[in-house]
Amino acid sequence: MLARERLRAVLGDAGYRQHVVCTTDPASGILRNIAVEEQLATLPVPPGVGGRFSVLSPVGLLPIAFAGLDVRALCAGARAMDARSQSTDLDANPAAFHAAVLFAAMAKGAHIHVLMPYSDRLMRVSEWYGQLWAESLGKRVKLDGSVVETGHTPVRALGATDQHSQVQLYVEGPRDKVV
């Protein structure tokens, strides 16, 4: 609302409308109501796609394009990984291989999953991953309603910063982590 008022002050009512795109639910919500009332352009979040999974939808790709990244290359990479993830061969399917390793580790008591990129530019990726991981897999109950209280705890670290102190713990400390 503050940005809207500042844009209006600088650009006027008509000009401000030309500079705003609202990312919102396609049918309801406060922002949807404002967009309809003020005749603002909208980019709807696809139904059934939670916000944490919207990065490869139009609402996620627009800011990526504005940041100057190659959206076509990103989507091509996502399509290639999707194709690889369809394989039942663990050696050809990195997602299934990763899941199998984590499942086996969890069975042995390793409930902490550390993602440690070695580049400052990738730190935000590990933060996003931590959000996805915790929100998606931390569950109290199974689909049948029975209590399960399960999930890996995601830990984000930065190799260049945390490698000495954290790696010592990971290598010499309790065997409760996958790094």
Grade residue 45 by pLDDT with cuts at 50, 70 and 90: confident
Positive or negative torsion for Cα 86, 89, 90, 92: negative
pLDDT at 164: 81
Give the pLDDT confidence of 114-171 residue by residue, as tens digits. 999 999 989 988 998 898 888 888 889 999 999 998 888 999 999 888 888 888 898 8
pLDDT over 80 at 1, yes or no: yes
pLDDT single digits (tens) 83-99: 999 999 999 999 999 99
What's the pLDDT at 171?
A: 87
Confidence band of 73 (pLDDT split at 50, 70, 90)? very high
Q: Is the predicted pLDDT of residue 50 greater than 80, yes or no?
A: no
| pLDDT above 70: percentage of residues in the chain | 100
The 3-state secondary structure of the chain, one letter per residue: CHHHHHHHHHHHHHHHHCCCEEEECCCCCHHHHHHHHHCCEEEECCCCCCHHHHHHCHHHHHHHHHCCCCHHHHHHHHHHHHHHCCCCCCCCCHHHHHHHHHHHHHHCCCCEEEECCCCHHHHHHHHHHHHHHHHHHCEEECCCCCEEEECCEEEECCHHHHHHHHHHHHHHCCCCEEC
Q: Mean pLDDT over all residues of the chain?
A: 91
Residue 51: pLDDT above 90? no
Q: Alpha-carbon distance 113 to 133, whole Å? A: 9
What pLDDT was estimated at residue 165? 82
Lowest mean pLDDT among 22-36, 47-61, 66-80, 115-129: 47-61
Closest to 133 (Cα-Cα) out of 159, 115, 157: 115
- pLDDT band at 75; cut points 50, 70, 90: very high
Residues 6+ apart with CB under 8 A from 133: 113, 152, 154
pLDDT at 85: 96
Share of the chain above pLDDT 90, in %: 61
